[in-house]
Structure 1
Amino acid sequence: MSLADSRPRPVGPARGRPRSEAVERAILEGVMKLLEEGVPLAELSIERIARTAGVGKATIYRRWSGKEELFVDVMRAAEPPDPVLPGISMRGDLVALLETLRQRGLASRSSVILHNVYAQMKSSPKIWAAYHASVITPRRVLAMEVLRRGQRSGELRPDIDPELANDLFIGPMLVRTVMRPDADLPEGLAEEIVDTVLAGLRPVSSTAS
């Protein structure tokens, strides 16, 4: 899998010398090459990664504090990019967020490497915690902002708990992409989920019978 066109977003502040995109790509490609060869995450040392990427260990440590940070950036680069939200309506933004999850599910299914790495990450508390903090949590925060904005604009009932609403929207897509690997992920699924959930969460018109 090529990461040449992907750019991870840094997890922490920049350190040391100015970043070189070519060097970072070489390091990320080096990690993915080792994973494709079947090397488990637990056996990937910084020294081995540096040797594969053709750089010194210090070059890696100037960019990442350790393996955990580096692996998170590798996974970010291998995933579909975070969506640019239309910002026109709550519905449109929710559809964009769920479509990203659908694309991630398709990518995981088409790549045995990604599937195996996700499983390995969950067995490593430090790596999973780093991935959760830098990838999953920001996405949840973004979804919560969309829902709260929807309440302010009248698209979502004010009595609905945004945390619960977020789970209602995201849950069906996660079930299909994570818990049901044989489930269909057709185009239009994001729209179908959002519209089905919204049917029960939109404000009820006072003139309705």
Structure 2
Amino acid sequence: MQAAQDDAHTPAGDGGPEPRRGRPRSAAAERAILDAVVELLEAGEPLAGLSIERIARTAGVGKSTIYRRWSGKEELFVDVLREIEPADPTVSGTAGLADLRELLESMRTRGLAQRSSVLLHNVFAQMKSHPRLWAEYHRTVVAPRRVAMLAAVQRAVDAGELRGDLDVELMDDLFLGPMLVRTVHRPDAPLPEDLAHRIIQILLEGLAPKPQVTAGWPTATPV
């Protein structure tokens, strides 16, 4: 009877992402649902095997309770990932390079978390084989982070901390690229505490050799 009542309130499938259906009616219920997904994942359940019905049963709620909060599994899983990932930093929104440094440091912290957490590592590995889930994660998590980075670079330009004659998106990629390589593409690479600072400092100083001083006159080192 409970399942039949739940189905009357749920879509005819997990469907694509839809707008949220209002604010949660119970913080305790939402907490139980998020915890249930984490519990199932920690027990070794694959993402593909997690149904809304199984999650509801584990959380001790009806399926309609889940659908009142999330439009489907993709939206729910992204919120679960937000729960187990390190939180995004709170930046000033007014600084340029200082905010950029905080955002890069947050990427480094998430990289460390993925290396140390078997759960996070497994979830990310599985997400990549689920296009709709991966797309939802990019839309709601990755894209806003990129917007925040671009805004910080633009503020640095406006404040005279960065050149104003260069493409802002390209500069953003130059700051972002080294951290992405270290955290995503080179899981064995070191992630020292000063990495964000060093990336910014090296880019500000440039990669060309510094001029050598000979007899009181600076001369450029041949390339």
Whether these two folds match at TM > 0.5 is yes
CA RMSD of aligned residues (A): 1.9
Mapped to 1, the partners of 2:76 and 2:109 lie a distance apart of 23
Displacement of 1:189 in angstroms is 1.1
5+ long unaligned stretches in structure 1: 1-10, 202-208
Which consecutive segments of 4 or more residues in structure 1 shift more than 4 A? 11-14
Partner of 2:70: 64
1:113 aligns with 2:119: yes
5+ long unaligned stretches in structure 2: 1-16, 208-217, 219-223
Displacement of 1:89 in angstroms is 3.3
Q: In structure 2, give the amino acid aligned to 1:65.
A: S
- Normalising by structure 2, report the TM-score: 0.81
Q: Name the CA shift for 1:172/1:16 in 2 (closer, same or farther; >3 Å).
A: closer
2:206 partner SS: helix
Q: In structure 2, give the amino acid aligned to 1:37.
A: A
Matches within 5 A, 1:137-148: 137-148=143-154
Partner of 1:6: none
Which of 83, 88, 98 in structure 2 is aligned with 1:82? 88
1:180 aligns with 2:220: no
- Normalising by structure 1, report the TM-score: 0.86
Displacement of 1:20 in angstroms is 2.0
Q: In structure 1, give the amino acid aligned to 2:35.
A: E
Identical amino acids, percent of aligned pairs = 64
Which of 148, 151, 159 in structure 2 is aligned with 1:153? 159
Displacement of 1:88 in angstroms is 5.5
- Structure with greater Cα Rg: 2
Mapped to 2, the partners of 1:101 and 1:71 lie a distance apart of 20
Mapped to 1, the partners of 2:62 and 2:96 lie a distance apart of 47
Q: In structure 1, give the amino acid aligned to 2:194.
A: G
Decide whether the 8 Å contact of 2:78 with 2:136 is kept in 1: yes
Displacement of 1:12 in angstroms is 7.3
Decide whether the 8 Å contact of 2:52 with 2:63 is kept in 1: yes
Q: In structure 1, give the amino acid aligned to 2:128.
A: K
